Chains A and B, each alone.
Chain A
Amino acid sequence: MVSRDRQQRGAVSVLAVMVAMVALVLGLAACGGGGGGANDGETTTAEAGPVKGELTISNWPGYIDPGKSGTVAEFEDKTGVKVQYIEDVNDNNSFFGKLQPQLEGGESGGRSIFVVTDWMAQQMHELGYLQEINADDLPTVFENMVSNLRDPSFDPGRKYSIPWQSGMTGIWIDKSKAPEIKSVNDLFDPKYKGKVTFLEEMRDSVPLVMKAEGVDPTEATDADWEKAIEKVKGAADSGQIRSFTGNNYTEDLTAGNIVAAIGWSGDASIIENPNAEWIMPTEGCVLWSDNMVIPVGAPNTAAALGWMEFVYEPKVAADLTEYITYISPVEGVKDLVAPELAKDPLVFPSPKFQENCSTQVSPPDVDKVSEAWANTLTG
């Protein structure tokens, strides 16, 4: 018995030493690599060229007309490019979170195009994760882009982002239960306690609250943001706000759990409640776009540019709009869609309809305000 123990212990020490060595080696390797720097070096411009080969696109779900007569199939037929269309952008932050390590190293995970919202595009650009786009390579795009999207504050002249679709954030109400709600301030009315939801996206909910208080989000200071967040936090703590949602507010609306929600204009197709209606708040809405961007390390940028050109052709854009019912960035689509759709102010809003709307912005000190907002969400 004793000798066996001693020999066992001997064998154990060998194992222990082996493990320690492995750990040491790996530790050294890790120390050597470190966190890597931010992607310094000049920004590259996406190269144009003959449109062929393979193309991988990451987009939001339900943002394209599917199937054999869909946009992807049409593009493949026309150009011979083989497209892998992945709908894995569920949320700007999660998508960023999972791509960040690769982008940091100059890789795009095989993707040639992402579609992300304005502020995320801006953030990626500032971190050096995007390639620039030469307007000369995209004649159709720049000819057909609607005028109010040509020169946004976050990307003047559209050097790295090309709009895919636009939308508005406003208020969905259940007409049969709360017809008198007209403004975001009404959502704080104790009458509706526990029956309203806000969006968890800070750049959707907080600007609306600020606007209702008379503050212009595009000129708001950090203090303005924090004051609005305080107001929301108070409502959350008291139970006035039922929950902060992604787009699952549509489930609550359908089920009748809530009477009002801050939500997006294009979600009509997934809310099965005949009494649900999207209203433009009296103080105006938040306007946002989702944009196509070309990341660093993107393979086959020529095909990516070809795709952008393709979807800016009015007929193609019209097919898209008919299916997804968001606001098209392409001029002339209104004349090509079905008449009832052309009259829908949510899909073809007139300038008058949108006059009080603000574009979606980030706060000046993003980290500080994000932290205040996060504390509200996870209170």
Chain B
Amino acid sequence: MSAPARAWAWLRRNALPIYAGLAVAYMLIPIAVIAIFSFGATPKGKLTFALDNGFTTEYWRTMFSIPELNDALFTSIRLAFFSTLISTAIGTAMAIALVRHRFHGKRLANLLIVIPMATPEVVIGASLLSMFIYYSFTLGFSTLLIAHVMFSISFVVVVVRSRLIGFDRNLEEAAADLGASPLTTFRTVTLPLLAPGVVAAALLAFALSIDDFVISNFNSGTTVTFPLYVYGVSLRGIPVQVNALATLLFLVAVIAVALVLIQQRRAERMAAVQPEPEGTAPIPLPGTAAAQ
């Protein structure tokens, strides 16, 4: 094969990874910009997205020097964590019920899932606020949590459901035939197979919560979340530390997952070294990662 033909063949074979790589790069462009400008010196310590004043690491060194920023960030992370936990659990349960079981009112339930996604945020935020006031809830972290779980449930249900549809029930039937109770079947067969969908849904719920502005603005009382803080300071100049922190968050998330990966790899390698006692090696289920 001539060189251009070989190059073309290589391109065709790797079209998908190249395209995917470009897509990921596209997603990360703003992060790169944010990271770069977190090193840009500015006369008043306010973000300017201009590199006229040279580079510095000052904002990374003083990253935690603004108490309001730290509080807001911590509040947001805590909020997102609990919101994700609750909404993923509730949403996964709902998805299972909706796909697996028959009952009247299924269409109504499906509708109820979709409608919150279609409602403009200002309407959800304002109406929730009115209701909270009416029933004398104290505005603060708990009302924020209620609101965040509420708007996350729909998204979790849709994501998990898309995984459940067309799921091969034979595996679960096989487990049942082998004598497993429904709970055991759920635990050892259904849940692991569902896992990627649940993880994807949880990620979405987390992102939704940590980035929410409008609904949080209405229902936060005097609590300040990270987006609320950023919106506030953007009026008079965003401290560059915000950029540094945002970049750090991103890095921490990525590094945390990478560490988990490394840990998994090590565990697998050790398991490979030690001989398995007969008959206890897990049978790779078709279509899952282990089988590839």
Chain A in direct contact with chain B (Cβ < 8 angstroms): yes
Contact A269 B44, beta carbon cutoff 8 Å: yes
Assuming the A-B contacts A61-B235, A247-B235, are A98 and B218 also in contact, with contact meaning beta carbons closer than 8 angstroms in the complex? yes
A230 within 8 A of B: no
Write the A240-263 contact mask toward B (1 if CB under 8 angstroms, else 0). Answer: 000000111000001100000000
Q: Nearest-CB distance from A99 to chain B (Å)?
A: 10
Contact B50 A272, beta carbon cutoff 8 Å: yes
B-contacting residues, A66-117, CB 8 Å:
84, 86-88, 90, 94, 97-98, 101-102, 105, 107, 109-111
Contact A97 B105, beta carbon cutoff 8 Å: no
Contact A16 B235, beta carbon cutoff 8 Å: no
Contact B134 A62, beta carbon cutoff 8 Å: no
Assuming the A-B contacts A9-B104, A62-B233, are A98 and B217 also in contact, with contact meaning beta carbons closer than 8 angstroms in the complex? yes
Contact B233 A61, beta carbon cutoff 8 Å: yes
Q: Which residue of B lies closest to A250 (CB)?
A: B237
Assuming the A-B contacts A101-B133, A272-B48, are A86 and B224 also in contact, with contact meaning beta carbons closer than 8 angstroms in the complex? yes
A-contacting residues, B41-76, CB 8 Å:
42-44, 46, 48-50, 52, 68
Assuming the A-B contacts A60-B235, A61-B236, are A12 and B134 also in contact, with contact meaning beta carbons closer than 8 angstroms in the complex? no
Q: Nearest-CB distance from B224 to chain A (Å)?
A: 7
Contact A270 B139, beta carbon cutoff 8 Å: no
Most chain A CB atoms below 10 A, which of B102, B218, B222, B233 = B222
A56–B221 Cα distance when bound, in Å, is 12
- Collect the chain A residues with CB atoms within 8 Å of residue B235's CB: 60-62, 90, 246-247
Q: Which of B49, B104, B233 contacts A87 (CB 8 A)?
A: B233
A11–B43 Cα distance when bound, in Å, is 69
Q: Nearest-CB distance from B105 to chain A (Å)?
A: 6
B142 within 8 A of A: no
A88–B234 Cα distance when bound, in Å, is 12
Query: Count of A residues near B, CB < 8 Å?
Result: 38
Assuming the A-B contacts A88-B224, A101-B129, are A272 and B42 also in contact, with contact meaning beta carbons closer than 8 angstroms in the complex? yes
Contact B231 A90, beta carbon cutoff 8 Å: yes
Contact A16 B104, beta carbon cutoff 8 Å: yes
B-contacting residues, A1-54, CB 8 Å:
5, 8-9, 11-13, 15-16, 30, 33
Q: Nearest-CB distance from B216 to chain A (Å)?
A: 10
Query: Count of B residues near A, CB < 8 Å?
Result: 32
A153–B236 Cα distance when bound, in Å, is 29
Q: Nearest-CB distance from A175 to chain B (Å)?
A: 17
Contact A62 B236, beta carbon cutoff 8 Å: yes
Contact A84 B222, beta carbon cutoff 8 Å: yes
B149 within 8 A of A: no
Assuming the A-B contacts A33-B134, A90-B232, are A111 and B222 also in contact, with contact meaning beta carbons closer than 8 angstroms in the complex? yes
- Collect the chain A residues with CB atoms within 8 Å of residue B130's CB: 101
B94 within 8 A of A: no
Contact B104 A94, beta carbon cutoff 8 Å: no
Q: Nearest-CB distance from A90 to chain B (Å)?
A: 6
- Collect the chain B residues with CB atoms within 8 Å of residue A61's CB: 232-236
A11–B103 Cα distance when bound, in Å, is 9
B201 within 8 A of A: no
Assuming the A-B contacts A86-B224, A101-B129, A269-B44, are A109 and B102 also in contact, with contact meaning beta carbons closer than 8 angstroms in the complex? no
Contact B129 A98, beta carbon cutoff 8 Å: yes
Q: Nearest-CB distance from A197 to chain B (Å)?
A: 16
A-contacting residues, B99-133, CB 8 Å:
102-105, 126, 129-130, 133
B245 within 8 A of A: no
Q: Nearest-CB distance from A113 to chain B (Å)?
A: 13
A60–B234 Cα distance when bound, in Å, is 11
- Collect the chain B residues with CB atoms within 8 Å of residue A248's CB: 234
Assuming the A-B contacts A101-B130, A110-B222, A272-B50, are A94 and B105 also in contact, with contact meaning beta carbons closer than 8 angstroms in the complex? no
- Collect the chain A residues with CB atoms within 8 Å of residue B139's CB: 109
B-contacting residues, A242-297, CB 8 Å:
246-248, 254-255, 269-270, 272
B144 within 8 A of A: no
Shortest Cβ-Cβ A-B pairs, 9 listed: A62-B236, A12-B104, A272-B48, A270-B237, A61-B232, A101-B133, A61-B235, A87-B232, A98-B218
A-B contact pairs, 20 of them (CB 8 A): A60-B235, A61-B235, A62-B236, A63-B236, A84-B222, A88-B232, A90-B231, A94-B217, A97-B126, A98-B218, A101-B133, A109-B221, A110-B222, A247-B235, A248-B234, A272-B42, A272-B43, A272-B48, A272-B50, A272-B52
B contact residues vs A (CB 8 Å cutoff) = 42-44, 46, 48-50, 52, 68, 102-105, 126, 129-130, 133-134, 139, 217-218, 221-222, 224, 228, 231-237
A contact residues vs B (CB 8 Å cutoff) = 5, 8-9, 11-13, 15-16, 30, 33, 56, 60-63, 84, 86-88, 90, 94, 97-98, 101-102, 105, 107, 109-111, 246-248, 254-255, 269-270, 272
